[in-house]
């Protein structure tokens, strides 16, 4: 029985409700009147239900689809402006006891070199990340209670926050580790993590159990109810995602939004971010072995419909995607991207020899962070290294409140300008600097609050003079 407020995953992601939603979407996919009324509702920026959004996703009328894409772009502009926040993943360990059939870390894979970073090695990775200019990272690890216990993750977080190299610092550590207990989520919360990210992989219980045949991750309910435990433990910001390619994308889309509705219904705040990963080639994984792969057009449609359905939830696209694909999806609503990423354990400090390749998947966008920053600016975006919301306690419902009132511009825009200035001074190539300085001048003109403008102007001078003691 479908119940968004239930604490049972079988009820808040009710299979029958997903099937009914898909049937409703099929029946109405060319219902112009309904779709126009859904779009009119969405234009108010208050979001859509999973049923309404599923109709938009199913729609194959060219004119209506154009409207859908245009609205996604408008919402993106209204809520996020031209800012794009940067981050990088940091792989700590690829030891894993699970049997996930799409992931090369699965326990039966005997070909992938297993690696776990020591705290000294983590320091080196962090220094390398800081030298690129990163301020925000997402730590990643396989699930292995012996090799990667929670104490190891907590020590690693402490090490990461503790590294102060030249002008660098990691100001926000997001965490992408396997579902765990409420007690462990409390420990992560106390360690000062940013967002807790956990991809559902698939919401279809039957497929989920087949795709995760062994290990603790096999337990569908434990995995699907993880965000409830995390939020009960005090973690305000959680990040959802499905791995596209495993199951039918329309099923995943409806269920993902039901998950967001569930969190909103129970905790008064939806997910902080939604990631959009697609399955990629990896050590012993061939994406063609999975039947539900989606092309770039469908991928773009999903991004647009998510943007419209949950306007105040950040959207993330990683280097799994090519530069070309990222450029297309960015304008439809993405607010965060990774840059200069390595998906191997220990890949930043020292390039990996081929036979030590411990990567989780092949990255398609292999550009350096500097190249990504330059490209973003050439495409008209304002790269941001800001982590101020987190630093000032603007998380969870407090963040959402500001975001829903479109007030986030007053915080994010000035901070994006100032953190870009820091990046340009400390890490950018000459070409990137030249474009960046021009961009900052133009962005300053768009600040229409005189007090904020003055403040930013003063801080830019301080940054140019080497001051770095800011809470961005």
Q: Please say which residue, 17 or 247, places its beta carbon nearer to ligand SAM.
A: 247
Q: Please say which residue, 361 or 411, places its beta carbon nearer to ligand SAM.
A: 361
**Contact code string over 260-279 relative to ligand SAM, x by CB under 6 A:** -----------------x-x
Should residue 347 be labelled a site residue for ligand SAM when binding is judged by CB under 6 A? Answer: no
Q: Least distance in Å: CB of 15 to ligand SAM? A: 21
Q: Least distance in Å: CB of 122 to ligand SAM? A: 16
196-197 and 336-338 as β-strands: parallel, antiparallel, unpaired?
A: unpaired
DSSP assignment of 348-415, as one string? TTSPPPGGG---SS--S----HHHHHHHHHHTT-EEE---HHHHTT--HHHHHHHHHTT-HHHHHHHH
Q: Please say which residue, 54 or 360, places its beta carbon nearer to ligand SAM.
A: 360
Should residue 83 be labelled a site residue for ligand SAM when binding is judged by CB under 6 A? Answer: no
Question: Which residue stretch of 280-288, 307-315, 418-426, 431-439 sits at the interface with ligand SAM (rule: CB under 6 A)?
Answer: 280-288
| # residues contacting ligand SAM (CB under 6 A) | 21
Should residue 259 be labelled a site residue for ligand SAM when binding is judged by CB under 6 A? Answer: no
Should residue 341 be labelled a site residue for ligand SAM when binding is judged by CB under 6 A? Answer: no
Should residue 140 be labelled a site residue for ligand SAM when binding is judged by CB under 6 A? Answer: yes
Should residue 326 be labelled a site residue for ligand SAM when binding is judged by CB under 6 A? Answer: no
Q: Least distance in Å: CB of 338 to ligand SAM? A: 12
Written as six digits, the tokens of 120 are 């000294």
Q: Please say which residue, 8 or 364, places its beta carbon nearer to ligand SAM.
A: 364
Q: Which residues contact 293 (CB under 8 A, 6 or more apart)?
A: 244, 245, 278, 279, 287
Q: Least distance in Å: CB of 112 to ligand SAM? A: 12
Q: Please say which residue, 277 or 340, places its beta carbon nearer to ligand SAM.
A: 277
Phi and psi at 256, nearest 5°, equal: -60, -45
Q: Least distance in Å: CB of 280 to ligand SAM? A: 4
In whole angstroms, give the CA distance from residue 395 to residue 71: 27
Should residue 82 be labelled a site residue for ligand SAM when binding is judged by CB under 6 A? Answer: no
Pick from 50, 320, 331, 409 the residue near ligand SAM by CB under 6 A: 320
Q: Least distance in Å: CB of 147 to ligand SAM? A: 12
DSSP assignment of 416-458, as one string? HHHHHHHHHHHT--HHHHHHHHHHHHHHHHH---HHHHHHHHH
Q: Which residues contact 219 (CB under 8 A, 6 or more apart)?
A: none
Q: Which of 242, 304, 310 is nearest to 277 (CA)?
A: 242
Q: Least distance in Å: CB of 464 to ligand SAM? A: 39
219 sits in which H/E element: none
DSSP assignment of 19-67, as one string? HHHHHHHHHHTT-HHHHHHHHHHHHTTS---HHHHHHHHH---HHHHHH
Which single residue is written with the structure tokens 């975001």?
A: 403
Pick from 13, 48, 139, 198 the residue near ligand SAM by CB under 6 A: 198
Site residues for ligand SAM, 208-227, by CB under 6 A, read 217
Enumerate the β-bridge partners of residue 201. Answer: 242
Written as six digits, the tokens of 227 are 């965000």
Burial class for 172, CB neighbours closer than 10 Å (0-12, 13-18, 19+): buried
Should residue 285 be labelled a site residue for ligand SAM when binding is judged by CB under 6 A? Answer: yes
Pick from 17, 125, 143, 225 the residue near ligand SAM by CB under 6 A: 143
Q: Least distance in Å: CB of 189 to ligand SAM? A: 18
Question: Which residue stretch of 18-26, 171-179, 371-379, 412-420 sits at the interface with ligand SAM (rule: CB under 6 A)?
Answer: 171-179
In whole angstroms, give the CA distance from residue 322 to residue 284: 21
173 sits in which H/E element: strand 172-176
Contact positions toward ligand SAM, by CB under 6 A?
Answer: 102-103, 140, 142-143, 176-178, 198-199, 201, 217, 243, 277, 279-280, 282, 285, 320, 360-361
């Amino acid at each position: 029985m479908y119940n968004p407020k239930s604490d049972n995953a079988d009820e808040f992601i009710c299979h029958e409700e997903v099937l009914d939603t898909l049937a409703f979407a099929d029946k109405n996919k060319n219902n112009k009147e309904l779709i126009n009324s859904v779009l009119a509702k969405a234009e108010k920026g208050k979001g859509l239900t999973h049923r309404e959004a599923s109709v938009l996703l199913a729609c194959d009328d060219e004119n209506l689809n154009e409207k859908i894409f245009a609205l996604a772009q408008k919402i993106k502009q209204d809520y996020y402006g031209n800012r794009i926040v940067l981050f990088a993943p940091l792989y700590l360990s690829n030891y894993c006891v699970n049997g996930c059939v799409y992931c090369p870390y699965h326990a039966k894979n005997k070909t992938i070199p297993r690696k776990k970073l020591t705290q000294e090695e983590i320091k080196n990775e962090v220094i390398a990340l800081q030298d690129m200019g990163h301020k925000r990272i997402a730590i990643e690890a396989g699930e292995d209670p012996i090799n990667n216990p929670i104490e190891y993750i907590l020590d690693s977080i402490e090490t990461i926050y503790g590294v102060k190299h030249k002008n660098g610092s990691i100001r926000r550590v997001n965490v992408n580790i396997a579902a765990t207990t409420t007690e462990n989520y409390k420990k992560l919360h106390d360690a000062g993590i940013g967002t807790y990210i956990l991809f559902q992989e698939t919401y279809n219980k039957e497929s989920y159990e087949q795709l995760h045949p062994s290990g603790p991750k096999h337990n569908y309910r434990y995995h699907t109810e993880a965000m409830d435990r995390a939020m009960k433990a005090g973690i305000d910001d959680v990040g959802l995602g499905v791995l596209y390619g495993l199951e039918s994308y329309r099923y995943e889309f409806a269920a993902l939004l039901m998950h967001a509705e569930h969190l909103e219904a129970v905790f008064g705040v939806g997910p902080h971010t939604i990631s959009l990963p697609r399955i990629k080639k990896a050590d012993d994984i061939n994406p063609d072995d999975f039947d539900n792969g989606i092309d770039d057009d469908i991928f773009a449609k999903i991004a647009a419909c998510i943007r419209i359905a949950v306007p105040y939830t950040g959207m993330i696209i990683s280097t799994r995607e090519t530069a070309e694909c990222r450029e297309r999806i960015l304008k439809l609503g993405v607010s965060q991207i990774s840059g200069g990423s390595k998906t191997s354990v220990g890949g930043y400090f020292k390039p990996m020899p081929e036979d030590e390749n411990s990567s989780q998947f092949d990255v398609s966008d292999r550009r350096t962070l500097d190249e990504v920053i330059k490209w973003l600016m050439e495409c008209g975006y304002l790269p941001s290294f800001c982590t101020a919301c987190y630093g000032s306690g603007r998380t969870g419902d407090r963040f959402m409140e500001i975001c829903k009132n479109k007030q986030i511009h007053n915080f994010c825009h000035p901070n994006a300008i100032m953190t870009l200035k820091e990046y340009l001074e400390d890490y950018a190539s000459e070409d990137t600097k030249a474009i960046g300085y021009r961009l900052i001048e133009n962005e300053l003109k768009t600040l229409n609050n005189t007090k904020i403008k003055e403040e930013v102007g003063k801080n830019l001078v301080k940054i140019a003079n080497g001051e770095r003691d800011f809470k961005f």
